[in-house]
């Protein structure tokens, strides 16, 4: 190896990548992380993962030599998952043949928050490692960089593909969106002012790791009795939601968003090995939210990811009223709240 040349190249990079909350859910996948239906999410602002990646001298003959630290502690479980991801995609990271890799990551949300962090983590990892590839090839970061980072993040965790872009993001082929793809996500442009500056209050009902992982949940969609109808429904809803996001219809947004959350959990409850992730607190929050919306006429709704925590979505213009409602009426049902909002996407830190 030509040492003089490598010294010119970057050996340390850092990125921050936000989490996202799906409005239309990805639940069920084919081989190679191809989704069974398209999904749409909202990229968040405060809930993010920061990753610093350093290239170091390689001391083993392993194809990938990685040490992964989460909040300053070596995390061997995640290290194995990331090592597998890097080995499977070594083509994109050729410098890993010559260098060892040390990754330090932290989450900006409390680690016991019960928020899925694989989306923001794989988003940040993909960005950092791709920047190293670009730097080693003398390429500059351009629009295609984010598309490729989304492609790579998807191979780590499907929902991560959507965290690479700000605002509302589509992942999966849809006939109404020309550049849509199963391989990477794309941002959705021309969002009606009603849906700009959306707020998301994440109410943590349970902060323990869930009993059934998302990977197991995805797998249970194979041979699920309602799989075919579910995938068709989600794809049809993607087309409707894209219109709704353009024309600003809050009632339709609420109907799709809440039905998606309940349908996701209905899939879990009706799979061959059925299970429940909602808790009493989840249902209490949902019922009180229905009553508050009915009485106040404020456009506010909920969604759930694969867990018991509730995301309350509302426009910034009703921030005071909704947050007062949450603090005065829901505190018995959740352990902590994270007040987040629509975000601007990843950030390069070094």
Q: With binding defined as CB under 6 A, does residue 333 bind ligand DP6?
A: no
Smallest separation (angstroms) from ligand DP6 to the CB of 159: 3
Map the footprint of ligand DP6 across residues 105-124, applying CB under 6 A.
116, 118
Q: CB burial class (10 A; 0-12, 13-18, 19+) of residue 245?
A: buried
Count Cβ atoms below 10 Å from residue 321 Cβ, excluding itself.
Answer: 14
Smallest separation (angstroms) from ligand DP6 to the CB of 44: 12
Are 338 and 45 in contact, with CB atoms under 8 Å apart?
no
d(CA 50, CA 106) in angstroms, rounded, equals: 5
Map the footprint of ligand DP6 across residues 189-228, applying CB under 6 A.
214-215, 218
d(CA 56, CA 101) in angstroms, rounded, equals: 6
Are 161 and 171 in contact, with CB atoms under 8 Å apart?
yes
Binding segment for ligand DP6 (CB under 6 A), chosen from 20-28, 70-78, 107-115, 202-210, is 20-28
Q: With binding defined as CB under 6 A, does residue 22 bind ligand DP6?
A: yes
What are the helix (H) ranges across the chain? 3-8, 76-88, 118-137, 143-156, 214-219, 227-247, 250-269, 280-296, 319-329
Binding segment for ligand DP6 (CB under 6 A), chosen from 23-31, 65-73, 105-113, 277-285, is 23-31
d(CA 106, CA 99) in angstroms, rounded, equals: 23
Q: With binding defined as CB under 6 A, does residue 306 bind ligand DP6?
A: yes
Nearer to ligand DP6, 184 or 218 (CB): 218
Smallest separation (angstroms) from ligand DP6 to the CB of 179: 20
Binding segment for ligand DP6 (CB under 6 A), chosen from 89-97, 156-164, 267-275, 339-347, is 156-164
Nearer to ligand DP6, 136 or 162 (CB): 162
Q: With binding defined as CB under 6 A, does residue 231 bind ligand DP6?
A: no
Lookup: tokens for 71:
């909040």
Task: Give bridge partners of residue 271 from the DSSP assignment.
Answer: none
Q: With binding defined as CB under 6 A, does residue 230 bind ligand DP6?
A: no
Give the footprint of ligand DP6 on this chain (CB under 6 A).
22, 25-27, 33, 39, 116, 118, 157-159, 214-215, 218, 264, 305-306
């Amino acid at each position: 190896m030509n040492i003089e040349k490598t010294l010119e190249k970057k050996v340390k990079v850092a990125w921050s990548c936000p989490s996202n909350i799906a409005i239309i859910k990805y639940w069920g996948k084919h081989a190679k992380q191809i989704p069974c239906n398209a999904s749409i999410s909202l990229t968040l602002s405060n809930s993010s993962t920061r990753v610093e990646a350093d290239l170091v001298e390689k001391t083993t003959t392993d194809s990938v030599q990685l040490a992964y630290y989460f909040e300053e502690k070596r995390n061997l479980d995640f290290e194995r998952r990331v090592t597998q991801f890097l080995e499977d995609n070594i083509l994109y990271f050729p410098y890993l043949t010559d260098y060892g890799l040390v990754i330090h990551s932290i989450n900006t949300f409390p680690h016991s928050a019960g928020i899925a962090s694989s989306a923001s983590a794989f988003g940040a990892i993909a960005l950092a490692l791709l920047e190293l590839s670009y730097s080693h090839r003398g390429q500059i970061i351009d629009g295609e960089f984010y598309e490729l980072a989304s492609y790579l993040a998807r191979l780590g965790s499907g929902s991560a593909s959507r965290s690479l872009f700000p605002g509302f993001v589509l992942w999966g082929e849809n006939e109404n969106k020309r550049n849509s793809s199963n391989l990477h996500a794309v941002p959705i442009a021309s969002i009606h002012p009603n849906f700009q500056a959306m707020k998301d209050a994440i109410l943590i009902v349970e902060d323990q790791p869930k009993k059934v992982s998302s990977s197991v949940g995805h797998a249970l969609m194979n041979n699920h009795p309602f799989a075919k109808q579910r995938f068709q429904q989600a794809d049809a809803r993607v087309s409707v939601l894209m219109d709704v996001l353009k024309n600003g219809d809050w009632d339709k947004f609420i109907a799709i968003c809440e039905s998606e959350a309940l349908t996701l959990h209905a899939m879990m409850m009706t799979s061959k090995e059925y299970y429940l992730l909602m808790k009493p607190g989840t249902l209490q929050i949902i019922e009180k939210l229905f009553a508050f919306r009915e009485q106040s006429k404020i456009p506010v709704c909920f969604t759930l990811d694969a867990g018991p925590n509730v995301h309350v979505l509302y426009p910034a213009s009703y921030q005071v009223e909704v947050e007062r409602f949450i603090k005065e009426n829901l505190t018995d049902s959740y352990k902590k709240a994270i007040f987040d909002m629509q975000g601007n996407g990843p950030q390069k830190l070094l």
